[in-house]
C-alpha cells in the first residue's frame, strides 16, 4: 500500500475514532444525567417513604388513642348500665311499696271514714227528732266533707292503679235509668244551691239495660258533672244528654253505641288547652286551683276509664262559651234482651224522707268486725231497718256464737282482723256442715284486686267495699235473706 493510501486510511480511522469518542462522551453524559435523575428520584422516594411512615405512625398513635378512649367509654357505659339496672330494680321496689302503701293507707283512711259517714247520715236523719235544724245542717256538712275526702282518696288510688296498669273494669248488666236518676238525685241539690239550671235529656229510643261497668260509668259522669257545676257561674245551665249514635264497624256493619254528653254554658276552655286538661294534675291555668280548688286528676282518670270501657271521652269548647264533654260507649254496651238479673241492686234509689218502711222484719244477722266504731255504726244502721244485729269482735267469737245460736240468717264479715283474717274465718265456717249454706257477705276496706278473688274462692257469697253505700248493703242483705 502506498503512502497516500495509508494516509487516507489513517484519516478515515481517525475520523471514525473521533466519532466513536464523541458518541461515547454523549453516552457518558446521558448516563450521568440518568444517574442524577435516579439519585433525585431515590431521594424523593426516601423522603416520601419517611413522610408516609411518619404519617402512619401518627395514625397509629391516633388509633391507639381512640381505641383507649373507646375502651374507657365502654367501661363507663357498662358502669352506667349497671347503675341503671340497680336504679330500675330500686324503682320497681319503690313502686311496689308505693302501691302497697297506698292500698294500706286507703284502708286506714276508709275505715274511720266509713263510721264517720254512717253515723253522720244516721244523725242527719234525726229519727228521735231532738236535733235543731242547725245541728242537722252541721251533721250534713260533716257527711258531705267526708264524702269529698273519700272521693279524693278514690282519685289518688285510681291514679296509682292507672300508673301500675291495674285499673280494673267489671262489666255487668245495669239499668240505664238507675245511672241518670242517681246522678239527678245527687246533683239536683247542688243545682238549687248554686242557682244553676240542671236537666237530664234522654232520647226516646234508649235501651232499658246496658252492659258496662256501673261504678266506672257513674264515676266518669260524676266527674264531668262536678266539673260542669264547678266551672259554671250562677244562672248558668247544665244538661246531661243521653242518646244513641252509630258506630261504623267495618264497611258494611254499623251499630248503635251510646253517647253521654255533659253540656254547660260556663267559663269554657281555650282551644290550646283542650289536650292538656286531660293530663294528670293539669288544670286549664294556674289560677284555677286557687279559685276553684281541685287536684287536676278527674279528667285524666275519666278518659283512661272511658278507654278501658272501650269508648272515649272528647271535648268541644271555647273560652267563655261553655264546654261539652262527650263520653262515647261502644255498641256492645247495649243489651237487647231484657233479662233481670239477681244481684242487680238499685243502689241509686234514694229513699225519700217520708219513706220510712222497714226493709226487714226482725231477721237476725251476725256482724263480725274488730273495729268497734264500725260495728256500732253499722249495727245502728241495720237495726234501724228492722234487723236484729249481733256482734262478734273476732273469728273465734263468731264461730262459738254461731254454734250456740241457730237462728242467725246471715253473716257480715270484716276481712282484715288481727288474729284470724276474714278469709280464714270463712274457710272455718265452710268446713262445718251446718254453716256451709250460711250467706256470708264480706265487708272490707281493702282495695286489692286479689282480695275479692281470694274471698270468693273461700266461699264468700258477696263482697262489698267500705264505705258501703247504705242502699247497696241493704239491697244485698235483702237479696240474700229472701234467696
Site track 358-377 with ligand ADP (rule: CB under 6 A), x = hit: --------------------
**Identity of the residue, 242 or 412, whose beta carbon is nearer to ligand ADP in the bound complex:** 242
**Identity of the residue, 258 or 284, whose beta carbon is nearer to Mg ion in the bound complex:** 284
**Identity of the residue, 268 or 395, whose beta carbon is nearer to ligand ADP in the bound complex:** 268
Which residue in 113, 116, 123, 299 binds ligand ADP (CB under 6 A)?
Answer: 299
Separation between Cα atoms, residue 69 and residue 455, nearest integer Å? 61
Which residue in 122, 153, 156, 288 binds ligand ADP (CB under 6 A)?
Answer: 288
**Spatial contact of 414 and 440, defined as CB atoms under 8 Å apart:** no
Binding partner selected for residue 269 from ligand ADP, Mg ion, none, CB under the kind-specific 5 to 8 Å limit: ligand ADP
Q: Does residue 284 interact with ligand ADP by CB under 6 A? A: yes
Please tell me whether the peptide bond between 467 and the residue prior to it is cis, using omega within 30 degrees of 0: yes
Part of the chain binding Mg ion (CB under 5 A), chosen from 256-264, 295-303, 419-427, 452-460: 295-303
Part of the chain binding ligand ADP (CB under 6 A), chosen from 35-43, 105-113, 263-271, 440-448: 263-271
Which residue in 210, 225, 228, 366 binds ligand ADP (CB under 6 A)?
Answer: 228
Site track 213-232 with Mg ion (rule: CB under 5 A), x = hit: --------------x-----
Smallest gap from residue 148 Cβ to ligand ADP (A): 12
**Identity of the residue, 219 or 375, whose beta carbon is nearer to Mg ion in the bound complex:** 219
Alpha carbon separation from 132 to 128, 143, 193 (Å, rounded)? 11, 17, 21
**C-alpha closest to that of 116 among 381, 368, 369:** 381
Which residue in 296, 330, 331, 459 binds ligand ADP (CB under 6 A)?
Answer: 296
In DSSP terms, which residues pair with 327 in a beta bridge? Answer: 260, 313
Separation between Cα atoms, residue 273 and residue 296, nearest integer Å? 13
DSSP state string for 286-317: THHHHHH---S-HHHHHHHHHHHTT-EEEEEE
CA atoms within 13 A on the CB side of 180: 21
Cα 481 to the chain's mean position, in Å? Answer: 37
Q: Judge residue 479's burial from the number of C-beta atoms within 10 Å of its C-beta, 0-12 exposed, 13-18 middle, 19 or more buried.
A: middle
**Identity of the residue, 139 or 315, whose beta carbon is nearer to Mg ion in the bound complex:** 315
Q: Does residue 298 interact with Mg ion by CB under 5 A? A: yes
Provide the 3-class DSSP secondary structure of residue 255: strand
Number of residues that bind ligand ADP (CB under 6 A): 21
CA angle, corner 221, sides to 340 and 280, nearest 5?
135
Cα 90 to the chain's mean position, in Å? Answer: 22
**Identity of the residue, 299 or 435, whose beta carbon is nearer to ligand ADP in the bound complex:** 299
Q: Which residues bind Mg ion (CB under 5 A)?
A: 227, 298
Q: Which residues bind ligand ADP (CB under 6 A)?
A: 223, 227-228, 231, 264, 266-269, 277, 283-284, 288, 294-300, 323
Amino acid at each position: 500500500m502506498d503512502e497516500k493510501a495509508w494516509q487516507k486510511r489513517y484519516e478515515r480511522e481517525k475520523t471514525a475514532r473521533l466519532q466513536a469518542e464523541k458518541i461515547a462522551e454523549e453516552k457518558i453524559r446521558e448516563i450521568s444525567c440518568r444517574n442524577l435523575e435516579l439519585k433525585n428520584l431515590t431521594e424523593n422516594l426516601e423522603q416520601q417513604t419517611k413522610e408516609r411512615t411518619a404519617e402512619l405512625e401518627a395514625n397509629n398513635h391516633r388509633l391507639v388513642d381512640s381505641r383507649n378512649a373507646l375502651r374507657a367509654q365502654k367501661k363507663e357505659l357498662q358502669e352506667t348500665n349497671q347503675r341503671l339496672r340497680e336504679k330500675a330494680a330500686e324503682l320497681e321496689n319503690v313502686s311496689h311499696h308505693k302501691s302497697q302503701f297506698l292500698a294500706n293507707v286507703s284502708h286506714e283512711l276508709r275505715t274511720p271514714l266509713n263510721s264517720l259517714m254512717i253515723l253522720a247520715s244516721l244523725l242527719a236523719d234525726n229519727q228521735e227528732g231532738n236535733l235543731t235544724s242547725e245541728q242537722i245542717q252541721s251533721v250534713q256538712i260533716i257527711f258531705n266533707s267526708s264524702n269529698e275526702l273519700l272521693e279524693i282518696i278514690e282519685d289518688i288510688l285510681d291514679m296509682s292503679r292507672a300508673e301500675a296498669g291495674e285499673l280494673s273494669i267489671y262489666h255487668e248488666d245495669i239499668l240505664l235509668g238507675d245511672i241518670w236518676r242517681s246522678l239527678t238525685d245527687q246533683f239536683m241539690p247542688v243545682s238549687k244551691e248554686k242557682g244553676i239550671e240542671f236537666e237530664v235529656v234522654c232520647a226516646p229510643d234508649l235501651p232499658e239495660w246496658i252492659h258496662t261497668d256501673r261504678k266506672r260509668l257513674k264515676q266518669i259522669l260524676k266527674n264531668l258533672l262536678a266539673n260542669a257545676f264547678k266551672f259554671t257561674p250562677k244562672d248558668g245551665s247544665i244538661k246531661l244528654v243521653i242518646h244513641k249514635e252509630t258506630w261504623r264497624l267495618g264497611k258494611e256493619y254499623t251499630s248503635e253505641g251510646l253517647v253521654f254528653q255533659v253540656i254547660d254554658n260556663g267559663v269554657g276552655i281555650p282551644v290550646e288547652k283542650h289536650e292538656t286538661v286531660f293530663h294528670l294534675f293539669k288544670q286549664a291555668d294556674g289560677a284555677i286551683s286557687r279559685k276553684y280548688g281541685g287536684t287536676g286528676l278527674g279528667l285524666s282518670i275519666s278518659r283512661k276509664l272511658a278507654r278501658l270501657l272501650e269508648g272515649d271521652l272528647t271535648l268541644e269548647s271555647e273560652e267563655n262559651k261553655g264546654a261539652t264533654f262527650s263520653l262515647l260507649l261502644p255498641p256492645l254496651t247495649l243489651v237487647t234482651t231484657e233479662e233481670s238479673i239477681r244481684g242487680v241492686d238499685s243502689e241509686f234509689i234514694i229513699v225519700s224522707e217520708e219513706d220510712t218502711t222497714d226493709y226487714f222484719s226482725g231477721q237476725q244477722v251476725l256482724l263480725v268486725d274488730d273495729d268497734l266504731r264500725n260495728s256500732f255504726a253499722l249495727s245502728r244502721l241495720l237495726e234501724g231497718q228492722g234487723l236484729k244485729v249481733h256482734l262478734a269482735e273476732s273469728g273465734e267469737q263468731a264461730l262459738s256464737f254461731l254454734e250456740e245460736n241457730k237462728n242467725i240468717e246471715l253473716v257480715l264479715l270484716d276481712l282484715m282482723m288481727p288474729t284470724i283474717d276474714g278469709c280464714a274465718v270463712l274457710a272455718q265456717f265452710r268446713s262445718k256442715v251446718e254453716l256451709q249454706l250460711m250467706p256470708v257477705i264480706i265487708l272490707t276496706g281493702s282495695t286489692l284486686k286479689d282480695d275479692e278473688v281470694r274471698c270468693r274462692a273461700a266461699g264468700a257469697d258477696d263482697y262489698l267495699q267500705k264505705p258501703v253505700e247504705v242502699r247497696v248493703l241493704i239491697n244485698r242483705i235483702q237479696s240474700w235473706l229472701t234467696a
